[in-house]
Structure 1
């Protein structure tokens, strides 16, 4: 068990149901997600129009490499600098990139070089913005309100992304990438204005030492993760949340629909069941959550493993039920586990731990996708579903047996006001 400085309360937050500042912030974030979805569709569409499919794929994915390389550095800065300032600076840089794309495309046709530079620039901005943004929930609400915060945030974000994706195709057809970039610029400007004028932290997080080098700070984050077993379990679980279900949905469902002659429309219906279920699962946490949040989340993921197995059975009703189960458990579990992580991880390591979490998902997902496809190519189609779903359910036994996680509850502050603001797991 280690000791670490706890956040300092700057002002008492209101109950989450009456917290207008946080609710407005989550709506603004959802608006930004909608703008990102609009621009992502326009970007991909433009790349396909001016380049071969292979080159277009390279352009669209180009931002992931610099993001992965710099993400850990961004996490180190998030733990030593002002998160609000980092968010403002890198959103402003995103605006510069979008305005450059829009102005260029007004004067001349878009080029592969322009899109490639824009993709890389956005990846670099993400590497610094995302770790800083990941520390904000702990600065805004009390630990007992983090599950409700995460649930509403995920729900609004999904709605924003869905709305942006639905409108994106029409907007790029009518106004091209210039109009889409302009709309996304407006959403980022709104975010910047809100952060500058209204978003004010209620808790000051302890800061990592600025005297050590950034690379030493990154290494210190890994050392901390190696020392703290329960935190490590949460990070690994959150990193691997999508490694089983991602390939099953992205590759397995189209293969299943093709082999059964269900058509592409069936894939859309199944994915809609996943997305709708995820929103419902997250909203459940707003109204009700288990007393021990981490255990509730891991138990839900065990059920999700069964849902993944159901996708391989081949009956459309069973597959639909499996998709709905996956969505419900994904929304429920990710909300509980992400809020538990935010509330209980050492506050001066939140940025670095969040970066490690994202990096693990980015690096392992291509491997998981390739392995699923390889299994589907050489074995009956139900086998990869059974392997991935069964492995997920079995792996959840490890955290469910962890005594620290079993005892952890974010409700302790509500019941014993004299205790620290959250039960630390390290």
Structure 2
């Protein structure tokens, strides 16, 4: 099932030339940069306020409400509309961060103050992430969703490149107060753009019989209905399985594992920085390719194959003898894994019934943003026991298992994106 776009009878305008999409993209980019600045400021403030263990507690606090409330955020996005939820949650993040900056003008930060802010921010994130992911099918035509995923990937890479240095400069110039204030201002500037985004209507009931058949009920009933929709859908169920398995194999090595590998090889922080930058270049190139091309034939097959190639590159990364070779392998990982992830996101958005899109997005976001980081302690313990090589290979096999699962499902292997 595909999404009916606003003004479906009119010729499709390329997403990068659509002012409505550009407003959404600008708001999303500003919010992502604000996120990076916020986390930089939070880490700095926590490190200057408490011990190492307390700093870890502060940084982990936000993940708890995010994991617990993400599925509920998807229910709200479907019940109230993703635009309302995005605006409300972005406003909440803006007010919380600006309030913290104002409070720090009057008093010194404490660990419990920072934990409280992290908890509230994480709860707002749990509403923001499913809703912002559910917006693209409501603001563009189905044939432009792959291009929008590419643009979103570029926005994410831009935020990664700009956000951390901007946060570092703000901390160096004005301390955490200025950094938190900068993050709050970025959220505030994104709000007018969000308010200006025009939304298309959901399909009429006769175009979406499953939507019409869903009875109104409690939030819990709606959540169960969304999970049932995923389980019974011939394409969404396998897609979620691919996301869950491949993310578990991808996140550990490319985050904690890379830090441990750099220390084991004596590459130092600079060497690790080059490898991370190379991965960002590869991921940015894949996002740019998708944004420019706009359509990939046999998207399901290409998605599975690119994830499989990325998995092989993950295993090879652990055996790269030098920083330049490791950086070259990282480019391959970013290019293929980035393209596979973007195609997966586009397939999810075109396959899901629009009435369930917030809930479907919340489930995929749960795997990518909340549950996958739980592999960090396992990765660290495994590296301590067996070293980086075997752990990277095991993670690559897990990632490849997700790709092979997708290849084994004929409906997913033959899946196409609308033109």
What TM-score comes out, normalization by structure 2 length?
A: 0.91
Following superposition of structure 1 onto structure 2, how do residues 2-401 of structure 1 map, counting pairs within 5 Å?
A: 7=4, 9-10=6-7, 12=10, 14-196=13-195, 198-204=196-202, 211-288=216-293, 289-316=295-322, 317-362=324-369, 364-401=371-408
Q: Quick one: distance in 2 between partners of 1:210 and 1:97? A: 36
How much has 1:10 moved relative to structure 2? Answer: 5.0
**Contact 1:233/1:399 (<8 A) preserved:** yes
Q: How far apart, CA to CA, are the structure 1 residues paired with 2:89 and 2:203?
A: 21
State the distance in 1 between where 2:216 and 2:49 align.
Answer: 48
- Deviation per CA, 1:252-290: give whole Å up to 9, x if none: 323332222222211111111111110001111123343
For residues 239 and 391 of structure 1, what CA distance do their matches in structure 2 show? Answer: 10
* Number of residues of Structure 1 aligned to a counterpart in Structure 2: 408
- Asked if 2 retains the 8 angstrom alpha-carbon contact of 1:225 and 1:231, the reply is yes
Indicate how the Cα distance of structure 1 residues 246 and 104 shifts in structure 2: closer, same or farther if over 3 A, else same: same
CA distance in 2, matches of 1:124, 1:159: 25
- In the TM superposition, residue 205 of structure 1 has moved relative to its aligned partner by 5.6
- 1:239 deviation in Å? 3.4
Question: What are structure 2's unaligned runs of at least 5 residues?
Answer: 205-210
Q: Which residues of structure 1 form unaligned runs of 5+?
A: 415-426
Q: Sort the Cα spacing of 1:389 and 1:19 in 2 relative to 1 into closer, same or farther, 3 A.
A: same
CA distance in 2, matches of 1:210, 1:90: 27
Shift in CA distance, 259/103, structure 1 to aligned 2, threshold 3 Å: closer
CA RMSD of aligned residues (A): 2.2
Per the TM alignment, residue 17 of structure 1 is displaced from its structure 2 partner at its CA by 4.0
CA-CA distance at 1:80 after TM superposition: 1.4
| Aligned-partner Cα distance in 1 for 2:191–2:16 | 25
For residue 68 of structure 1, report the CA deviation from its aligned partner.
1.4
CA distance in 1 between partners of 2:94 and 2:381 (Å): 41
3-state SS, counterpart of residue 173 of structure 1: helix
The match for 2:208 is none
CA–CA separation in structure 1 for the residues paired with 2:241 and 2:282: 24
Residue pair 1:10, 1:204 contacting (<8 A) in 2 also: no
